[in-house]
Amino acid sequence: AGSQIQGTAGIPRRSKRRKSVAIVYEPGQGDGAEPQRPRWEPRDWREQLERIREMRRSRDAPVDEMGVQKCYDSSAPPQVKRYQVLLALMLSSQTKDQVTSAAMLRLRQRGLTVDSVLQMDDETLGQIIYPVGFWRNKVKYIKQTTAILKQKYGGDIPSTVEELVQLPGVGPKMAHLAMHIAWDSVAGIAVDTHVHRISNRLKWVKKETKHPEETRVALEDWLPRDLWKEINWLLVGFGQQTCLPVNPRCSQCLNQDICPAAKKL
């Protein structure tokens, strides 16, 4: 590659002996080639998923009524909506949906935009968002991120996961949800503590994972891409109502007979 064609003069004489060329087969082609192994997928996962859909049919979990997708002003300009989505995600970390929703409502009553937040002093912002989890840190992250959005993105939010996770206080789960909700783009699976816990209980990961980011990689390896957006919403609500962190309600779960964790709990 990159060689140039030259005239015959000056070209050294080539050996007339032909070099043998190794033939490389695609998997599953050619004599003796190993057949392609089927991709790993969890046992009973399709039935488990269908039953979770059934349990989530009423859409009455906290995430349905007060989740981030309900926290922004739907009548605001698109750029403002996207900013409000990102802010709601930042507030939601280690915070119940009810608390995040209330904080967002208080912020929106003051006209929640990039400029209004930049003009607000830290003490006022802290009073408005309290009692969200780690509110002091979030005041700092919100002010830093908002300043970056103003300077670098013209007041909008980035449209890639790679840029979103560079913002102070924005992790991978938030970035993927921001892509889903703000940009209507599926770049990956948003994995929070509920998705992480339930994926391990159902054995939807090949081997046990310790952190949500490991779970995301493991799920994306086998779960069909057309389910990536739905899976967060399904499992978060399921985790809030049935598959609780402590004392899960296995007796009320339609998956009781095919859940690997049900017998142990």
Of the residues 138, 143, 173, 229, only one is catalytic, namely 173
Is the pLDDT higher at 251 or at 35? 251
User: Cα separation of 24 and 242, whole Å?
Assistant: 52
Q: Where in the chain is the domain with CATH 1.10.340.30?
A: 72-186
Examine the residue annotation and report whether 173 is marked as an active-site residue of this protein: yes
Q: What is the mean pLDDT of the chain?
A: 90
pLDDT in tens, 176-228: 999 999 999 999 999 999 999 999 999 999 999 999 999 999 999 999 999 99
pLDDT in tens, 131-149: 999 999 999 999 999 999 9
pLDDT in tens, 39-75: 899 999 999 999 999 999 999 999 999 999 999 999 9
Is the pLDDT higher at 10 or at 103? 103
Q: Return the sign of the alpha-carbon dihedral for residues 173, 189, 61, 247.
A: negative
Query: Does 259 score more than 80 pLDDT?
Result: yes
Phi and psi angles of residue 131, each rounded to the nearest 5 degrees, phi first: -105, 45
* CATH number of this structure's domain 72-186, picked from the four choices 3.55.10.10, 3.30.70.270, 1.10.340.30, 1.20.1530.20: 1.10.340.30
User: The whole model's pTM is what?
Assistant: 0.83
Q: Where in the chain is the domain with CATH 1.10.1670.10?
A: 42-59+188-264
**Position 148, amino acid:** I
Q: How confident is the model at residue 33 (pLDDT cuts 50, 70, 90)?
A: low
DSSP string, the chain: -------STTPPPPPSSPPP----PPTT-STTPPPPPPPP--TTHHHHHHHHHHHTTT--SHHHHHSGGGTS-TTS-HHHHHHHHHHHHHHHTTS-HHHHHHHHHHHHTT--SHHHHHHS-HHHHHHHHTTSTTHHHHHHHHHHHHHHHHHHSTTS--SSHHHHTTSTT--HHHHHHHHHHHH----S----HHHHHHHHHTT-SSS--SSHHHHHHHHHHHS-GGGHHHHHHHHHHHHHHTS-SSS--GGG-TTGGG-TTTTT-
Please give the class, per CATH, of domain 42-59+188-264: mainly alpha
pLDDT at 38: 76
- Percentage of residues in the chain with pLDDT exceeding 90? 84
Query: Does 22 score more than 90 pLDDT?
Result: no
User: Cα separation of 244 and 122, whole Å?
Assistant: 35
Query: Does 77 score more than 70 pLDDT?
Result: yes
Mean pLDDT (whole number) for 242-255: 96
Closest CA to 138 of 98, 107, 176, 183: 107
pLDDT at 39: 86
CB atoms within 10 A of CB 188: 19
